[in-house]
Amino acid sequence: MEYTPEELKRIYQRRFNPQENIVRDRIWSVLVRNFFQAWIKPESVVVDLGCGFGEFLRHVKCQRRIGVDLNPLTREPLSQAGIEHLQQSVFEPLPLDAGTIDFVFTSNLMEHLPGKQACELMIREAHRLLKPDGHFVMMGPNIRVIRGEYWDFWDHIVPISDRSLVEALECLGFSIVNCWPRFLPYTTKSSLPKADWLVKTYLKCPWAWPIFGHQFLIRAAKF
C-alpha cells in the first residue's frame, strides 16, 4: 500500500520537529556544496524524487529544479525557494518530456515505497526522463549494514542493499559510475556531532565512511 498525503503529513510532523529540520537543512547545505554540486552543471535540469522540503534542491545551483513529493506540506516551502513542485507518487509517470533531464536524485525514499515493483517503476521513470549519459544518484539506508535497525521506522517497507540496487539498475538500462556501500550515518538523529566543519572534514575522509557510514550512495549513468 502507499501512504496517503494526509498520512505522510502526520508521519513527518511527528518525526521531525522544527529544530531538527533546521539541523538537517544545514547538513544538506554542506553536503551539496562540498560534494554533490561537483556532479551538477550550472545549466543542468535537476529532478529530486521524494524531495521532502527541498533539503537537497534548495542548495543546488542549476538552471531548473523540480521536486516530486506526495506530502502536501512540501508545496509552500518549495515554492518559496523557487522550486517547481509536482505532488504525486514517484512511481507514476511524471508530466515531463523524455530525455530532458540531466540529473535525477533521490535520498531515503525507496525503502518507503509500497514494494519492489514500485521501486522498479521509479527507476524506469528516471531512465525515461534522463538525457543520454544523464546521472541518477541514489542514497539510502543499507540493510546489509544496518540490519535490525532498518525496521525502527514504521514506514520502512522495502529492504534494499547496495548490491540489490546495483543489480536492479544494471538490468534497467543503467551503468554504475560510483557505488559506496557506506557513505553517511544512518540518520541525522544520531549522536554524532553535526557542526559544519565536521561534516566537511568527514566528506574529505573517505577512509572514515566504512566506519561511520550506514547509507549507500550510488551514481548511475543512463546508456
Domain assignments of the chain as residue spans, ordered by start:
5-222
Output the average pLDDT for the chain: 91
The answer to whether the predicted template modeling score (pTM) of the entire model surpasses 0.85 is yes
Q: CB under 8 Å to 98, separation ≥6 — which residues?
A: 128, 129
The mean pLDDT of 110-134, rounded to a whole number, is 97
pLDDT at 188: 60
For every residue of the chain, which 3-state class applies, written as one string?
CCCCHHHHHHHHHHHCCHHHHHHHHHHHHHHHHHCHHHHCCCCCEEEEECCCCCCCHHHCCCCEEEEECCCHHHHHHHHHCCCEEECCCCCCCCCCCCCCEEEEEEECCHHHCCCHHHHHHHHHHHHHHEEEEEEEEEEEECHHHHHHHHHHCCCCCCCCCHHHHHHHHHHCCEEEEEEECCCCCCCCCCCCCCCHHHHHHHHCCHHHHHHHCCEEEEEEEEC
pLDDT at 210: 96
Kindly indicate the confidence band of residue 12, based on its pLDDT and cuts at 50, 70 and 90.
Answer: low
The mean pLDDT of 165-194, rounded to a whole number, is 87
Does 23 have pLDDT greater than 80?
A: no
pLDDT at 9: 53
Percent of the chain residues past pLDDT 70, beyond the cut: 88
Per residue in 33-74, pLDDT (tens digit) is: 999 999 999 999 999 999 999 999 999 999 999 999 999 889
CATH class of 5-222: alpha beta
Kindly indicate the confidence band of residue 191, based on its pLDDT and cuts at 50, 70 and 90.
Answer: low
